Structure 1
Amino acid sequence: GGIVEVNAAPGLRMHISPSFGKGRDVGKAVIDHMYPGGGNGRIPVIAVTGTNGKTTTVRLAAHLLKAQGLRVGMTNTDGVYVNGRQTDSGDCSGPRSARNVLMHPDVDAAVLETARGGLLREGLAFDQCEVAIVTNMGGGDHLGLNYITTLEDLSVLKRVIVLNVAPTGTAVLNAADPAVAAMAPHCPGRVTFFAQDGEHPVIATHRAQGKRVVFVQRGHIVCAEAGFEKRLPLSQVPLTRGGQIGFQVENVMASVGAAWAVGVPWDAIQRGLTSFISDVHGVPGRFNVFDYRGATVIADYGHNPDAIAALVAATEAMPAGRRSVVISGAGDRRDEDIRAQTQILGASFDEVLLYQDACQRGRADGEVLGLLRDGLKGARRTRHVQEIHGEFIAIDTALESLDKGDLCLILIDQVDEALAHIQQRVAAARPAAPARRTRKKAAS
């Protein structure tokens, strides 16, 4: 015999349902040929949701998979990335961007930020995932929007990724967050719990049952299951600053739990944790630390009370003289959520600079500033409050007032633009390098 035709896109219906004779399942034969040995053609899919920490967890989990040698597709609120190259920018945490990654021919594994908005609009881009991570729920965010009015409503929405874990897959859940821990019974596969406290009742019970847990003990992240235990030193995880930044420790535990679930070797996990750097390139707008004329400047995109509380806890672990903070508020949040942010900051910062966002999201001019100012009434520590129109003007004002040893937390709105502006100011403040002197050759 010989080949009489090569068809790149053959029609199968004539073979499956012929006009005469017996139908043949040629589709199965094609797939069996493409994926021999019983493979199903699927790639590992890690979906990440929660209130805070999603983007950092996505980026770190993708980095750990890359350390294994996989070509990783990643979506988050910063863009779409395929094998380290950015292919789209902006908020790409919805199903459309996820589908672009899943259809890309060069992707061996996908890590997908799965945010509230995309879930409400279109649901999921996949039928099932190998790993679902829920970082935390806390007090929630975006409450009052799209008929999601309570934390319970938001939890029901975000546990959708847990419901769609494959039977052979894993949900990685925050044991210390009751709303997240309560999602465990809804997972069709296994559950890995994580929490900083290894004695937390949920962690202790799960571990006693021989199931997977991730926790912190004596400066190490401990990954335990039945008789197995792996310890990863926090001193070798730059993202956590030696374990000082609690919310980053939680993001690391979630990412490690996911990498463990998809079979990343431990040496690759350790390499990935050591090489992941929390700078404006690795995790833009997520606790980026700068030195400005001897003062510590931290830029972060925190924008809800839980994020602010976590940032305050992290900055309080850092020595400083005078502490200042630059903050605005998203106009589409509830009044009480906007006030709560400055209530938290007022107990820890000496000076607060309020600025008005470029987009007020439906609020009247000055309304958000008024709510932020209300939150500072009766503040325990804040003694000086300043209102400024314009994000960059507020940043410049804060930087100009810094002395050596001070600390300034800047809660940015326009992430890329604000970070570029801060980097420019930091670079301009560095002392010029001394000119190199050249020695004249002696006359011969």
Structure 2
Amino acid sequence: MPGLHTHECSVGKPGGFVERLRRGTYLAHIAEHVTLALQNEMGFNVGYGRARGTGETGVYNVIVAYEEEEPAREAFKTALELTLAAMFDEPYDAAAAIERLRDLADEYRLGPSTRAIVDAARRRNIPVRRLTPTGSLVQLGYGIHQKRILASQTSDTSALAVEICQEKPLTNRVLRNVGICVPEGRTVRSADEAWEVARELGLPVILKPEAGNQGNGVMVNLRSEAEVRAAYEVARQYRGDVLVERHIEGDDYRLLVVNGRMVAAARRDPAQVIGDGRRTVAALVEAANRDPRRRTGHCSSLTRIKLDEAARVVLAQQGLTVESIPEAGQTVKLRQNCNLSTGGTATDVTDEVHPSNARMAELAAQVLNLDVAGIDLLCKDIRRPVMEQGGAIVEVNAAPGLRMHLQPTSGLPRDVGVPIVESLYPPGAPSRIPIIAVTGTNGKTTVTRLVAHMFETARQCVGMTNTDGTYIRGERILEGDCAGPKSAQAVLLHPRVEVAVLEVARGGILREGLGFDWCSVGIVTNISPDHLGMGGVNTLEQLARVKQVVIESVAKDGAAVLNADDPLVAEMAAACRGQVVYFARGPDNGILQSHLAQGGRAVFVEDGAISTAEGSRRHRLVKLERVTFTAGGALRFQLENALAATAAAWAQGLNPALIVRALSTFRSDHRMAPGRFNVLGLAGRQVILDYGHNVGAMRAIAETLTQDGSRRTVMVIGLPGDRRDEDLVATFKASLPFVDEYVLHDLKDRSDRAVMEVPRLMSGCLTDDTPYTFAMDQREGILRGFQRTQPGDRLVVIADIVNEALAVLEALADVKVGEEETCEDPVSRGLE
């Protein structure tokens, strides 16, 4: 693999990796570089790689860049096999392995037509997402601005036009009606009928499948009955009847028309070899196919030549067979059609096309209503009008291959992906929708729901993901934890979405990254201990680094919304390419003041109201008494959620009046924010339902409830087993100041822990005078908790599955769960 000699490695110069090899290095490092080199051999231009130890002896993380995931996985597997074979001096057929990888790459890589459009879109900063792992179906743009392509066929391509083009006689009839030259011809259903029509038209003739493509089954310049009958047997193997047409003398030209304008043209020559007086036709073809530009399929600049039945018919026309030895310099044709897909070559002639020929091609595309059309034209000289030389348009392609224009065998390449993208997205046309990404430890879901509510208040179609599900215009379309990249992509694929508000969890970032390339606004609520000890994240600083990925994805014209009261969050400003909007509980925060002094933007509480500021200018937005879900600002964690959401909507340019309306109409109840400090009434008891599974969330509940010591409190709690013991203990101990009695239960997903292991761990934190009982699951826990309370008591449910918890509470009340209660209300009114 000669490419290894160019790897710089840590030495910082070409040949650096080879130098490291000579000094001695470790297997993971070698596997990293060999994997990259193998991908380069497969035709993927990748160069980034890292090998890092995990802390466990002999165990490494190896990270390599890739264009297509499955071929990269296979390249890594092959790299290990090859390297180990070299280490132990075992036989290994590296050439065969590389050829196998190339074939796999051809299966997965985008074809040249699709790739040209995708590359042109990316240069325009238009989002691109492949919708099938091995096909060419690709989405451009997000949400309401999305378009789709399938090779050169676009979502603007008329289905009726495609149908017409698939029926060649109908195509000719439509073109003839507007005065475009097309050859005479008829469809036939037998070899006898084919010969009869050929005699009527006059020899020579062409035979081709009525509904063929890519030149398959096309036989030209047929001058005898035997040739016509043999050609019929070839053409009849394809779909539809066989079309017999008058043969037109001249060269084969393809004119590409995009959005009504000819943008490229190429002369196509059939597959052929040149004799040397020594080798047979078969040997000459084998030699030609060894050209590295020739591969099977359509992924390379040239396609391998096949010696099939069609080739034998053409050879017979020249008095040859595959075993014949042509004279030196003799040109031997292997096809009469000139398609690249059958081994042909192309020469760019864009600048030579006579204006009248270009106009005729443009008219043909227009009359068939095709946004992208490949017009096949036969004539002796493309520089002269076709009408003067007896030429004609012989075919119109609704999904033309672009390879001949992108990589002509000779002549100037034409970047024809650009005009296709411009036809889909004219200059200035939007391709993206606003994406607001929300991460942090606590408050993510509430902030996500509140931001979504703000844009819904503005009558925009919002796509939202969070730990409860995926929502489109307020309707849940997917249930479960949807805070990962796949759910984000589902929203961005939806054709009605105008704004995407996406919760981004730590686990999704570590597993698969983000579901988008960049966002308009990135929000980080706070950083506190949660999921430490998992995925190589052992400290708060490392957790912050994971969350910071969202801020690094903020666009240059976007904004990062950061909590100035949290130092780990505030310092993420250095990683943001766009502007920074801080939020804080008060205006005296030093970071916030310094930011404003430099003309920055911030949201904070001042004189009992949420205010916005930019530099020295301040605007009083809304009094806290109107923001009821914060209890007039008494619920500190809800206040921070309100500030974060306000900053995000303000940064995105939402009208302040709409922000105020949303803040004053949002409710932290089970309808708008299920499981996020929902306060309910049940048979004279106050019920608080919350999804607080970490120490930060539990401290926020404690801070709120210790202000009201008038109620006896029973807590129903089960904690996830995928946390470290010390984190589970810290979370549980944070509840001790405000709880009088506990019901400790197990969760359905114990994460490899033993049955009742976590409940027993929690019980070990209790003193002898604190009553508690065990339950097997959440449902049993809630029922026991209710039995342990009396009217006037408080029941706190730390929910694992929020919907299940609500269903149990509804069953206890025997009516719908409904009216919200404030924490200060001393008497419950019952569930309604």
Q: Provide TM-score, normalisation by structure 1.
A: 0.90
- Checking the alignment, whether the CA contact within 8 Å between 1:45 and 1:109 is kept in structure 2 is yes
Q: Letter of the aligned partner of 2:536 in structure 1?
A: Y
Distance 2:831 2:527 in 1: 47
Aligned partner of 1:412 in structure 2 is 799
Aligned partner of 2:455 in structure 1 is 65
Structure 1 residue 33: deviation in Å? Answer: 4.5
**1:90-129 alignment, distance < 5 Å:** 90-129=480-519
Aligned partner of 1:225 in structure 2 is 614
- Checking the alignment, whether the CA contact within 8 Å between 1:339 and 1:374 is kept in structure 2 is no
CA deviation string 1:279-330 (max 9, x = no partner): 2221111111111222211001100111100111122344632122111111
Structure 1 residue 363: deviation in Å? Answer: 1.1
**1:353-368 alignment, distance < 5 Å:** 353-368=743-758
- Checking the alignment, whether the CA contact within 8 Å between 2:561 and 2:580 is kept in structure 1 is yes
Distance 2:445 2:776 in 1: 29
Distance 1:271 1:25, change over 3 A: farther
Q: Tell me whether 52-61 or 226-235 shows the greater mean CA deviation.
A: 226-235
Distance 1:230 1:13, change over 3 A: farther
Distance 1:431 1:361, change over 3 A: closer
Q: Tell me whether 357-366 or 190-199 shows the greater mean CA deviation.
A: 357-366
Give the one of 781, 794, 809 matched to 1:422: 809
Distance 1:9 1:100 in 2: 28
Give the one of 591, 599, 616 matched to 1:202: 591
- Checking the alignment, whether the CA contact within 8 Å between 2:451 and 2:645 is kept in structure 1 is yes
- Checking the alignment, whether the CA contact within 8 Å between 2:554 and 2:578 is kept in structure 1 is yes
**Identity percentage over the alignment?**
44
- Checking the alignment, whether the CA contact within 8 Å between 2:695 and 2:731 is kept in structure 1 is yes
Give the one of 788, 795, 798 matched to 1:401: 788
CA deviation string 1:17-54 (max 9, x = no partner): 55676555554444445445524411111111111111
Q: Letter of the aligned partner of 2:612 in structure 1?
A: C
Secondary structure at the counterpart of residue 764 of structure 2: helix
What RMSD, in angstroms, separates the aligned Cα atoms of the two structures?
2.4
Aligned partner of 2:760 in structure 1 is 370
Aligned partner of 2:604 in structure 1 is 215
Distance 1:9 1:136, change over 3 A: farther
Aligned partner of 2:739 in structure 1 is 349
CA deviation string 1:255-287 (max 9, x = no partner): 111111111101111122222222222111111
Aligned partner of 2:547 in structure 1 is 158
- Checking the alignment, whether the CA contact within 8 Å between 2:745 and 2:756 is kept in structure 1 is no
Distance 1:331 1:194, change over 3 A: same
Q: Tell me whether 351-360 or 327-336 shows the greater mean CA deviation.
A: 351-360
Distance 1:377 1:12, change over 3 A: farther
Structure 1 residue 373: deviation in Å? Answer: 1.5
Matched, 1:275 2:650: no
Distance 2:432 2:795 in 1: 46
Secondary structure at the counterpart of residue 159 of structure 1: helix
Distance 1:26 1:318, change over 3 A: farther
Secondary structure at the counterpart of residue 649 of structure 2: helix
Aligned partner of 1:146 in structure 2 is 535
Matched, 1:51 2:432: no
Matched, 1:190 2:576: no
Unaligned 5+ segments in structure 2 are 1-362, 373-397, 817-828
Q: Tell me whether 31-40 or 418-427 shows the greater mean CA deviation.
A: 31-40
Distance 2:812 2:493 in 1: 41
- Checking the alignment, whether the CA contact within 8 Å between 1:168 and 1:190 is kept in structure 2 is yes
Distance 2:684 2:556 in 1: 53
Q: Which has the higher contact order (CA 8 A, sep 6+)?
A: 1
Give the one of 278, 295, 298 matched to 2:688: 298
Distance 1:81 1:72 in 2: 8
Matched, 1:309 2:683: no
Secondary structure at the counterpart of residue 255 of structure 1: helix
Distance 2:408 2:707 in 1: 73
Aligned partner of 2:635 in structure 1 is 245
- Checking the alignment, whether the CA contact within 8 Å between 2:454 and 2:649 is kept in structure 1 is yes
Distance 2:831 2:596 in 1: 56
Structure 1 residue 375: deviation in Å? Answer: 2.4
Give the one of 762, 770, 794 matched to 1:383: 770
Give the one of 74, 82, 88 matched to 2:464: 74
| Count of aligned pairs | 429
Q: Tell me whether 65-74 or 171-180 shows the greater mean CA deviation.
A: 65-74
Q: Tell me whether 367-376 or 52-61 shows the greater mean CA deviation.
A: 367-376
Distance 1:221 1:35 in 2: 40
Aligned partner of 2:677 in structure 1 is 287
CA deviation string 1:172-199 (max 9, x = no partner): 0111111111211011111111111221
Distance 1:35 1:267 in 2: 33
Distance 1:72 1:359 in 2: 32
- Checking the alignment, whether the CA contact within 8 Å between 1:342 and 1:376 is kept in structure 2 is no
- Checking the alignment, whether the CA contact within 8 Å between 2:683 and 2:831 is kept in structure 1 is no
Q: Letter of the aligned partner of 1:133 in structure 2?
A: I
Matched, 1:135 2:525: yes
Distance 1:432 1:214, change over 3 A: closer
Secondary structure at the counterpart of residue 101 of structure 1: helix
Distance 1:142 1:432, change over 3 A: closer
Structure 1 residue 367: deviation in Å? Answer: 1.8
Aligned partner of 2:258 in structure 1 is none
CA deviation string 1:240-262 (max 9, x = no partner): 23222211111111111111111
Secondary structure at the counterpart of residue 811 of structure 2: helix
Distance 1:141 1:258 in 2: 24
Distance 2:592 2:799 in 1: 35
Distance 2:780 2:585 in 1: 39
Larger Cα Rg: Structure 1 or Structure 2?
2
Aligned partner of 2:183 in structure 1 is none
- Checking the alignment, whether the CA contact within 8 Å between 1:244 and 1:317 is kept in structure 2 is no
Matched, 1:170 2:559: yes
Aligned partner of 2:23 in structure 1 is none
Q: Letter of the aligned partner of 1:387 in structure 2?
A: F
CA deviation string 1:343-371 (max 9, x = no partner): 11112222222122223211112221222
Distance 2:538 2:784 in 1: 37
- Checking the alignment, whether the CA contact within 8 Å between 2:610 and 2:623 is kept in structure 1 is yes
- Checking the alignment, whether the CA contact within 8 Å between 1:341 and 1:372 is kept in structure 2 is no
Distance 1:43 1:387 in 2: 49
Structure 1 residue 427: deviation in Å? Answer: 4.0
Secondary structure at the counterpart of residue 183 of structure 1: helix
Structure 1 residue 16: deviation in Å? Answer: 4.7
- Checking the alignment, whether the CA contact within 8 Å between 1:341 and 1:375 is kept in structure 2 is no
Distance 1:12 1:161 in 2: 37
Distance 1:269 1:18 in 2: 56
Distance 1:27 1:236 in 2: 54
Secondary structure at the counterpart of residue 438 of structure 2: strand
Q: Tell me whether 127-136 or 83-92 shows the greater mean CA deviation.
A: 83-92
Q: Letter of the aligned partner of 1:425 in structure 2?
A: L
Structure 1 residue 85: deviation in Å? Answer: 2.1
